[in-house]
């Protein structure tokens, strides 16, 4: 992969913290976030760097980013997903800690300094620092936002049918307390570089969503702790659970959920979930066709195809999923039926998914 890098003046000593922002067509959000932290980054120059990975946005980065001290901009030639973007930044830094931030978060001017103070606190603990830390999130109006959850199970997925969308993946706010937790959202996630090295980075089979759940699961399986820390709060403008899911994203999110089950849950749970999603896709595809929502109907047809394929431990992964979803949604061929075995041209969807028996629950 060819990667172009725009670098401002860099400090020769390894930083303690690398703030990683993965962007796709969100330059205004990135510019707002970077400008908010700019003065703090200058004050702590050398201890913190900012790496902004752009996954082939349609427009170039703001020109004034090039002259910012401690900022690297990595321009990737294609959008290979969030995990791939994070891994690109991780491989380019020597920092001991990485802080993953969504572009649509909003921070105080001293936010990087607060994170460095928390890192110093973690590293001074007698029990040692946690492997991953999720900080508190708030909505634009200041109310708390859900950010901690239990690992997915089949029973939990079935209960989601009767759970408000805003809380399907997450613990209730009343249940969320500082300390060890199963997993935390990737919108604001602090992770030790040692964890990334031991695990091999984020799993790029996930194009978008559930990759942070998988990361936390793998870290815990290897003895690292995952913690929630509410001593710092970061605003988050557009969490998935509070916005409309477009047809392409619907395909991607269903793929990610199925892929997680295939990698980490018992085989029988993955097979049952694949059957349930296939049935859901049939029903929703028929309804969308009936009411004339062509793109949604195409998306559900693609979801059904993915569920049938992943149910046999094979299928698309990473960037292939995004390409398949985009092509499927814009497919306007008349008479396309749910049962058609349409495949993305040039895809390798018949490849087996990489599975590690040690990662699967028994």
Q: Is the pLDDT of residue 273 over 80?
A: yes
Report the number of distinct structural domains present in the chain: 2
Dist. CA 128–CA 121, nearest whole Å: 10
CATH code: domain of residue 160: 3.90.550.10
- Domain identity same for 252 and 345: yes
Mean pLDDT confidence for 308-322: 82
- Domain identity same for 214 and 149: yes
Q: Domain range spanning residue 292?
A: 247-359
Domain boundary among 242, 263, 284: 242
- Domain identity same for 171 and 126: yes
- Domain identity same for 226 and 276: no
- Domain identity same for 96 and 166: yes
Find the Cα–Cα–Cα–Cα dihedral 291, 292, 296, 298, rounded to 10°.
120
- Domain identity same for 174 and 208: yes
- Domain identity same for 56 and 204: yes
- Domain identity same for 262 and 224: no
Domain boundary among 242, 260, 280: 242
Domain boundary among 186, 216, 242: 242
Q: Which residue has the higher pLDDT, 357 or 170?
A: 170
Q: In this structure, are strands 144-145 and 105-106 parallel, antiparallel, or unpaired?
A: unpaired
- Domain identity same for 268 and 186: no
- Domain identity same for 352 and 277: yes
Q: What is the pLDDT of residues 108-162, one digit of tens each?
A: 889 999 999 999 999 999 999 999 999 999 998 999 999 999 999 999 888 876 6
Q: What is the pLDDT of residue 293?
A: 94
Q: What is the pTM of this model?
A: 0.89
């Amino acid at each position: 992969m060819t990667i172009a890098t725009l670098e401002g003046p860099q400090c020769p000593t390894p930083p303690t913290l690398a703030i990683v922002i993965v962007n796709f067509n969100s330059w205004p959000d990135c510019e707002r976030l970077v400008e908010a932290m700019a003065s703090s980054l200058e004050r702590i120059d050398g201890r913190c760097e900012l790496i902004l990975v752009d996954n082939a946005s349609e427009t170039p980065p703001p020109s004034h980013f090039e002259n910012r001290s401690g900022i690297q901009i990595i321009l990737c030639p294609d959008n290979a997903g969030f995990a791939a973007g994070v891994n690109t930044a991780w491989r380019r830094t020597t920092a001991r800690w990485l802080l993953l931030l969504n572009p649509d978060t909003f921070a105080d001017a001293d936010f990087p300094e607060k994170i460095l103070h928390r890192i110093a606190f973690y590293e001074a603990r007698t029990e040692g620092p946690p492997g991953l830390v999720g900080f508190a999130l708030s909505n634009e109006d200041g109310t708390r936002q859900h950010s901690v959850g239990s690992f997915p199970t089949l029973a939990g997925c079935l209960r989601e049918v009767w759970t408000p969308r805003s809380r399907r993946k997450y613990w209730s706010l009343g249940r969320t307390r500082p300390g060890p937790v199963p997993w935390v959202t990737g919108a604001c996630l602090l992770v030790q570089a040692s964890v990334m090295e031991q695990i091999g980075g984020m799993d790029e089979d996930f194009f978008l969503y559930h990759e942070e759940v998988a990361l936390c699961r793998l870290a815990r399986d290897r003895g690292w702790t995952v913690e929630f820390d509410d001593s710092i709060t970061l605003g988050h403008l557009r969490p998935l659970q509070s916005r409309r899911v477009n047809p392409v994203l619907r395909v991607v999110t269903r793929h990610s959920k199925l892929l997680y089950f295939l990698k980490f849950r018992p085989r029988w749970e993955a097979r049952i979930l694949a059957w349930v999603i296939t049935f859901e896709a049939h029903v929703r595809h028929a309804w969308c066709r009936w009411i004339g929502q062509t793109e949604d109907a195409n998306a559900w047809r693609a979801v059904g195809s993915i569920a049938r394929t992943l149910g046999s431990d094979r299928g698309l992964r990473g960037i292939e999923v995004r390409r398949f979803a985009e092509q499927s949604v814009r497919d306007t061929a008349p008479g396309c039926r749910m049962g058609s075995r349409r495949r993305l041209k040039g895809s390798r969807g018949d490849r087996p998914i990489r599975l590690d028996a040690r990662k699967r629950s028994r």
